Amino acid sequence: MNIDAENERNVKAAAGQPDVTAEAKAAAGQPDMTAEAEAASESLRSKAEAGEPADFAAAADKEEDAAVHEKEETGTYKKTLTIAFAGNPNCGKTTLFNDYTGANLKVANWPGVSVEKKEGAMKYHDDTFKLVDLPGTYSLTAYTMEETVSRNFILSDEVDLIIDIADASALERNLYLTLQLIELGKPVILALNMMDIVEKRGMEIDFHRLPEMLGIPCIPISARTKKGLNILMHAAAHHADSSEKQSPLIHQHTHNKESQSHHQHHHHQQYVMVYSDEIEDKIDAVSVKLKELYPSLTNYRWHAIKELEKDTEIAEKYPLDLPDVIDRSYEDDIITQKYDFIEEVIDECLVNKDTKEAATDRADRILTNRWLGLPIFLLIMAGVFVLTFAVGNAMKGGLEYLLDLFSNAVRSGLASAGAASPVISLLCDGIIAGVGGILTFLPNIFVLFLALAFLEDSGYMSRVAYVMDGVMGRLGLSGKAFIPMILGFGCTVPAIMASRALATRKDRFRTMLITPFFSCSAKLPIYVLFSGMFFPKFAGLAAFSLYAAGFLLGLLVAFLAKLFDKEPYENDLLIELPEYKRPSSHTIFIYVWEKVKDYLTRAGTIIFIASIVMWFILNFGPSGFVGSSMENSFGSLAGKAIVPVFVPLGLGYWQIVVALIAGISAKEVVVSSCAVLFGISNVQSAAGMSKMVTDLSAMGFGPLNAYCLMVFCLLYVPCIAAMATIRRESGSRKYTAFVIVFQLAIAWVVTFIIFQVGRIL
């Protein structure tokens, strides 16, 4: 691999351009960009494992307020620290990271989102800090990929300091990771986030005693209200410096009966977490052996503890032959004793716990109620769709008007400038019609993503996993599999990525198979246009019926997959239900903006290009420029060759076939292609629609055909970006090919049935 290119990428990532855009780029049909971002994090990972020193060469911007830095000469500043952000899922880590770096990473209020680590840079006085946001984990075992990755990265020389972000309102659970991080032997600072919630609930934390017991600085912050951020970085700058470690004050382990301890070492003056005498003896014995066999190791204590836990990774790397000492796995004891110590810390440092019932409990009594939960969820989803259509339709008039003005101005301007008619046609009938037509659907897309952002950020999304668990259980999937499906209503690409959070490969594969049936927002323009044209009075209902059909078909496929599966289904749902919170406007803004930007990017790139290509293949034929007689164009000839396959579906029109094929690049292209095909500058306007209805009706394309078209669009293969994501996430070409063939077959069969039955009725 080219090292320079790698470094360049790393620096780029560090300069606050993290790979969160990879998702958007993938959706824009540039999946190779994601691969690049992955390669960058992969190279970092391997570097981390190899223990190479940091090659981060970014320095601060000249401007004081700029938090995002470009690559510049090093050496002008005193210090470059690499700080790893570690913490449980939902602890506000990503929000804090965004606060410092000015980056716009997506924050999700349900676990399993940041699966890759993200980097950013910030300036603190004269120092440059490189911040690395690690995936949220509850612990650092070797049982899951992301925990192993985080652990190895922290252990590498690259990391100077760890900031452990803890949700102070759930301190007891968060401290477990803290103890594990402290044991790794690097300087750790505990940032107690969500102090605003702690105060609101009437809890108090003893900030004098807590650092004493843990032996590390503990800084109260609130990432959401940006309080305590300077103090935290101040602590970081100083704590990483201090060569002499702050030793924890002596405390009594009640379970240890310290007073009767026979132990010869003064562990309590050296370590925060001291285990029972039995385990401490074993740690000492293993450490001695490790020193003997692997003299280059550092932090023998941590490695010894891992050996006692029979940690697969460490045991393989540093095999030991101590059957008397390591006679079984002591992981159970080690965890229990850590929690015993945590209980002591909580007893001493947390005052007034549980004085007030959390608002979350009250809300959950209704929202997750065994009878009300499901109807409420269905109501919420129905509300989301009603809003998407109602608000979108209310706003589209203005956009159409602007588009018409623009198109007419360009047309008359070009004509008066004496431009050739193919040029005018390319601009107005090709580009403006195709791209502009798609832009008029922006309000619908905006409202849909706004609603999804609210659901995610409020904390409701993980409740959906619980509410849908019973239904999903009958289909052989855990409720967690439903989260990717809901996200699929927005965009299939991130939805498929979200299936990573599922426990088994089988669950992931099934979820990826079903997710495309959950109609994505790119298919929305197709529904809006065709139901608006052919079912003007029942447009909303027609569109909703498609969403419902996709939903039910997805569930049916899952059910069939379960029937064919011989293994009994074990419901291994395990998901944290975070506190409900008022959605943060910043988080919502980032979320919606990313999606809107993505949509605009797609309109400017893939749909733009598709429109031009469509214009060319429809205006040129074997005989050259064919102009208005599209019948002789390349597009027409190609479409006609495939038409026989679509005749039984009521879609046997070459124009429709061409639009459907073009739609594989992105689903909106079906609409933009129709605009080009029928020479309509504004497909959503009343005039545009009526011209298209007239043209289509003249071809014999009626409401039934329109419905069949929408059903086929709902079910046939997702766009290229989604397919590339399935390929990447499944890691299997065979599976991807299966998904494609499966979707095409389903789309054909279902549309066939609808058309044939509809014809009889």
Partner 1 sequence: MTLDKAESGKTYEVESVDLPIGLHIRLEALGMTKGTDIDVTETKEHGTVIMKLRGTRFAVGKGISSHISVKEVAVHEH
Q: Which spans of this chain sit near partner 1 (rule: CB under 8 A)?
A: 138-139, 141, 143-144, 169-173, 176, 331-332, 335-336, 339, 342, 353-354, 360-361, 364-365, 368-370, 462-463, 465-466, 469-470, 473, 478-479, 569-578
Q: Structure tokens of 395?
A: 């706003």
3-state DSSP call for residue 720?
A: helix
Give the whole-angstrom CA distance, residue 132 versus residue 578: 24
Please report how many Cα atoms fall inside a 13 Å half-sphere around the Cα of residue 85, on the Cβ side. Answer: 33
Q: How far is the CB of 334 from partner 1 (least distance, A)?
A: 10
3-state DSSP call for residue 141?
A: coil
Q: How far is the CB of 591 from partner 1 (least distance, A)?
A: 24
- Measured from the CB atom, the residue of 55 and 361 that comes closer to partner 1 is 361
- The kind and range of the H/E element at 560 are helix 539-564
- Measured from the CB atom, the residue of 168 and 713 that comes closer to partner 1 is 168
- Measured from the CB atom, the residue of 378 and 686 that comes closer to partner 1 is 378
Give the whole-angstrom CA distance, residue 457 versus residue 429: 41
Q: How far is the CB of 454 from partner 1 (least distance, A)?
A: 20
- Measured from the CB atom, the residue of 125 and 200 that comes closer to partner 1 is 200
Q: How far is the CB of 427 from partner 1 (least distance, A)?
A: 55
Q: How far is the CB of 308 from partner 1 (least distance, A)?
A: 14
- The kind and range of the H/E element at 83 are strand 80-87
**Residue 679, Ramachandran bin (φ over 0: left; ψ between -120 and 50: alpha; else beta):** left
Q: How far is the CB of 336 from partner 1 (least distance, A)?
A: 4
Q: How far is the CB of 41 from partner 1 (least distance, A)?
A: 24
447 near 692, Cβ under 8 Å? no
499 near 514, Cβ under 8 Å? no
Strand boundaries in 376-455, DSSP class E: none
Q: How far is the CB of 460 from partner 1 (least distance, A)?
A: 13
* Other Cβ atoms within 10 Å of 367 Cβ, number: 21
**CB-count exposure of residue 84 (10 Å: 0-12, 13-18, 19+):** buried
326 near 304, Cβ under 8 Å? no
- Measured from the CB atom, the residue of 234 and 310 that comes closer to partner 1 is 310
How many residues make up the chain in this entry?
Answer: 761
520 near 489, Cβ under 8 Å? yes
For residue 218, report the phi and psi dihedrals to the nearest 5 degrees. Answer: -125, 120
Q: Structure tokens of 673?
A: 């292609």
DSSP secondary-structure letter at 119?
E
Q: How far is the CB of 325 from partner 1 (least distance, A)?
A: 20
- Measured from the CB atom, the residue of 78 and 362 that comes closer to partner 1 is 362
- Measured from the CB atom, the residue of 314 and 426 that comes closer to partner 1 is 314
Return the ∠ at Cα 248 (arms to 296 and 172), rounded to 5°. Answer: 100
- Measured from the CB atom, the residue of 559 and 569 that comes closer to partner 1 is 569
Q: How far is the CB of 200 from partner 1 (least distance, A)?
A: 15
- The kind and range of the H/E element at 710 are helix 703-715
88 near 185, Cβ under 8 Å? no
Residues pairing with 128 in the sheet: 80, 123
- Measured from the CB atom, the residue of 379 and 574 that comes closer to partner 1 is 574
- Measured from the CB atom, the residue of 55 and 332 that comes closer to partner 1 is 332
3-state DSSP call for residue 193?
A: strand
Give the whole-angstrom CA distance, residue 336 versus residue 273: 12
3-state DSSP call for residue 158?
A: coil
Q: How far is the CB of 729 from partner 1 (least distance, A)?
A: 21
* Other Cβ atoms within 10 Å of 369 Cβ, number: 13
Q: How far is the CB of 161 from partner 1 (least distance, A)?
A: 23
For residue 192, report the phi and psi dihedrals to the nearest 5 degrees. Answer: -90, 100
Q: Structure tokens of 39?
A: 């390669």
- Measured from the CB atom, the residue of 435 and 481 that comes closer to partner 1 is 481
Q: How far is the CB of 165 from partner 1 (least distance, A)?
A: 15
Q: Which amino acid is at 202?
A: G
Q: How far is the CB of 154 from partner 1 (least distance, A)?
A: 16
Q: Structure tokens of 487?
A: 């996200």
- Measured from the CB atom, the residue of 352 and 412 that comes closer to partner 1 is 352
Token pair 């320095």 in the structure block, residue: 59
399 near 439, Cβ under 8 Å? yes
- Measured from the CB atom, the residue of 572 and 631 that comes closer to partner 1 is 572
Q: How far is the CB of 147 from partner 1 (least distance, A)?
A: 9
Handedness of CA 282, 283, 286, 288 (dihedral sign): negative
- Measured from the CB atom, the residue of 378 and 687 that comes closer to partner 1 is 378
- Measured from the CB atom, the residue of 172 and 344 that comes closer to partner 1 is 172
- Measured from the CB atom, the residue of 435 and 467 that comes closer to partner 1 is 467
Whole-number CA gyration radius for the chain: 30
- Measured from the CB atom, the residue of 252 and 329 that comes closer to partner 1 is 329
Q: Which amino acid is at 89?
A: P
579 near 362, Cβ under 8 Å? no
Give the whole-angstrom CA distance, residue 712 versus residue 727: 23
Q: How far is the CB of 352 from partner 1 (least distance, A)?
A: 12
Token pair 């109609």 in the structure block, residue: 519
Return the ∠ at Cα 616 (arms to 615 and 622), rounded to 5°. Answer: 135
Q: How far is the CB of 332 from partner 1 (least distance, A)?
A: 7
Residues pairing with 219 in the sheet: 191
* Strands 620-621 vs 624-625: parallel, antiparallel or unpaired: antiparallel
Q: Structure tokens of 752?
A: 């066939």
- Measured from the CB atom, the residue of 462 and 751 that comes closer to partner 1 is 462
Distance from the Cα of residue 9 to its chain's centroid: 21
* Other Cβ atoms within 10 Å of 258 Cβ, number: 15
Q: How far is the CB of 400 from partner 1 (least distance, A)?
A: 45
